[in-house]
Amino acid sequence: MKEAHSEKLRILLIGYGKMGKAIETIANQRGHSITAIVSDKQMDVEHICRAYQPNIAFEFTSPEAAVHNLTSLISAGIPTVCGSTGWLAHWNEIAHLVKEKNGSFFYASNYSMGMNLLFKLTELAGRFMNELPDYDIDIEEIHHTEKKDIPSGTAITLAEKLIHEVSRKTSWVANEKASSEQLKISALREPGVPGTHTITFSSAIDTIEMSHTAHSRMGFADGAVRAGEWLLGKKGIYTMDDFLKDRFRLKGGA
């Protein structure tokens, strides 16, 4: 039986690669409609709004296209769910625009419910590891060869959560030798891999691993569509933490 939603999404889908197609499939399964699909970043948002009347946009493109797209969508007043990574150097200007326009914006580096459980477990593990200095920490991520940003946004999120909790780690490096204060991320690209992330805590005594392996993009797409359903009618900037705390009545922290 399908879940009931207070309002159906009329989706402007920006980016029609494998992830965009997965979002289309999940949205249709959940009773929503795709009103327009755009793959060209130089989109005419005003024309699209007049012609297709979307009530939400899903932006899953590339680091090069994301900032242009987000600026256009937020300026046009379209609630936006973004899953593009590699553009966060421009976060402050997008956040300022959302505030200026009283907009609605949802961002996550990873929309998978399973991965977001790993995020929470990572925070908890980091608190333990802060008291266990004999353990070193590293992250490995493996993605498909089409993924442009290295390391993945998800690996960066994991690293930042660990750095926040583990005082002996102050920064991360990708695919290079790490000092004792640095957390190393190894980023690999292999054909056909949706995404695998593994955190390793290693000491002379033992090794502990926490891992998430995506079998397809459907888990990411399902989480994104659910986030869009939740975002509709809200104002401000939201993340998966906000969604999960509300959806599952979680308290702050891990």
- Residues labelled as active-site residues: 143, 147
**pLDDT tens per residue, range 206-233:** 999 999 999 988 999 999 999 999 999 9
Cα Rg for the chain, rounded, in angstroms? 19
The answer to the question of residue 175 being in a domain is yes
Residue 253 lies in a domain: no
Q: Tokens representing 122?
A: 């990572």
What pLDDT was estimated at residue 39? 81
- Verify that 73 and 129 share a domain, yes or no: no
Does the structure show a pLDDT above 50 at 2?
A: no
> 126 lies in which domain range?
113-213
Write down the pLDDT at residue 146.
85
Please determine, for residue 195, whether its predicted confidence score (pLDDT) is greater than 50: yes
Could you tell me if residue 53 is left (phi over 0), alpha (psi between -120 and 50 degrees) or otherwise beta? left
Do 239 and 186 have their domain in common?
A: no
Whole-number mean pLDDT of the chain? Answer: 92
Say whether both 86 and 76 belong to one domain: yes
Q: Does 107 share its domain with 117?
A: no
The predicted structure's pLDDT at residue 252: 52
Same domain? For 173 and 240 the reply is no
Q: Is residue 22 part of a domain?
A: yes
> Do 238 and 190 reside in the same domain of the chain?
no
What is the band of 149 on the pLDDT scale with cuts at 50, 70, 90? confident
Q: Which residue has the tokens 């009773």?
A: 31
Local confidence band at 88 (pLDDT 50, 70, 90 cut-offs) = very high
Based on the domain organization, do 166 and 203 belong to the same domain? Answer: yes
- Strand-strand pairing, 56-59 and 80-82: parallel
**254 lies in some domain:** no
The CA-atom distances, in angstroms, between 24 and each of 110, 116, 226 are: 17, 22, 13
What is the per-residue pLDDT for 86? 86
Question: Is 240 found in the same domain as 167?
Answer: no
pLDDT bracket for residue 109 (50, 70, 90): confident
pLDDT band of 147, cuts 50, 70, 90: confident
The CA distance from 126 to 132, in Å, is: 10
The answer to whether residue 50 is domain-embedded is yes
Average pLDDT over residues 178-207: 96
* SS3 of residue 46 by DSSP: helix
Question: Mean pLDDT across the stretch 200-207?
Answer: 98
pLDDT of residue 4: 47
User: Are 208 and 125 in the same domain?
Assistant: yes
Averaged over 17-34, what is the pLDDT? 95
- Residue 3 belongs to a domain: no
In this structure, the answer to whether residues 74 and 125 fall within a common structural domain is no
Are 70 and 94 in contact, with CB atoms under 8 Å apart?
yes
**Within-domain flag for 5:** no
The verdict on residue 252 lying in a domain is no
Check whether residue 182 and residue 93 sit in a common domain.
no
Residue 254: predicted pLDDT: 47
Residues 102 and 118 in one domain: no
The CATH number for 64's domain is 3.40.50.720
Q: Check pLDDT > 50 for residue 1.
A: no
Q: Using N-to-C axis directions, what is the helix angle for 240-247 and 218-231, rounded to 10°?
A: 80
What digits encode the pLDDT tens for the residues 153-180? 899 999 999 999 999 999 999 999 999 9
- State residue 6's pLDDT score: 64
Q: How many structural domains are present in the chain? A: 2
pLDDT digits (tens, 9 = 90+) for 33-73: 999 999 866 667 778 888 999 999 999 998 888 999 999 99
User: Average pLDDT in the 68-91 region?
Assistant: 94
Q: How distant, in Å, are the alpha carbons of 130, 150, 235, 242, 246 from that of 188?
A: 28, 9, 38, 31, 35
Cα gap 250→242, rounded to integer Å = 9
In this structure, what CATH number is given to the domain that contains residue 163?
3.30.360.10
